[in-house]
Amino acid sequence: MLLDGKKLVVTGVLTKDSIAASVARMAQEQGAELLLTSFGRGMRLTQRVAKQLPVPADVVELDVTDPEHHAALAVELGSRWGKVDGALHAVGFAPEACLGQESGVLAAEWADVATAMHVSAYSLKSLAQTVAPLMPDGGSVVGLDFDAAQAWPAYDWMGVAKAALEATSRYLARDLGPLGVRVNLVAAGPLRTLAARSIPGFAAMEDAWGRRAPLGWDVRDADPVARATS
């Protein structure tokens, strides 16, 4: 069992089709104990999926942009387990003006861009800062990425946020590596998750990816990404 006895925090579980849900299920199958996070209106959805996992998991509130939520999560993890072995960052959001607009990146104002950057990139730092003190023997932080090396159709400021996420992960790896904490990203590709379906022009991204993806890529199957992440 690859993850036997490991204590993992998983963010981003919203529906049973989300990548994070596949990661959670596979991690449990490999022996891990999980704590899921969610917040706001998504809490009920996350709790529903948590009950359907091989081992029903608890869900705690975490708005990744709220320092008080991070502080409360650290207290909860400390009292529950005393340590953490790994955390999955599977959180991303951009306001409507940041995605799929006719004028592309020219459409969004800074307030919308700032929200996208905070939720989708800076929150990786926030999560790592929360769990790293609970990893005295080392651990791992993994985030979900999308290829930011080129400009994709409709992805606009979320593509910029993913580029920022990639840079953030490199600097976190530099700063946390000496403490034994690994920081890595997994580029999932355009899987047909609820989040992906909310992106205007997602079909164009899917078509563009299909010309580059490995043979046999299935946009409905998150298991290959879950295996890489676990």
Is 155 a residue of the active site? yes
d(CA 123, CA 13): 16
The count of other CB atoms within 10 Å of the CB of residue 166 is 19
**Contacts by 193-199, CB closer than 8 A, 24 or more apart:** 193/15, 193/17, 193/18, 193/19, 193/222, 194/14, 194/15, 194/17, 194/18, 195/14, 195/18, 195/92, 199/99, 199/100, 199/154, 199/155, 199/158
Catalytic residue among 51, 122, 155, 171: 155
> Which of 7, 125, 162, 171 is an active site residue?
162
Residue 109 · residue 97 · CB < 8 Å: yes
* C-alpha R_g of the chain: 17
Contact 143, 189 (CB under 8 A): no
- Active site annotation includes 51: no
Which positions are annotated as active-site residues?
Answer: 155, 162
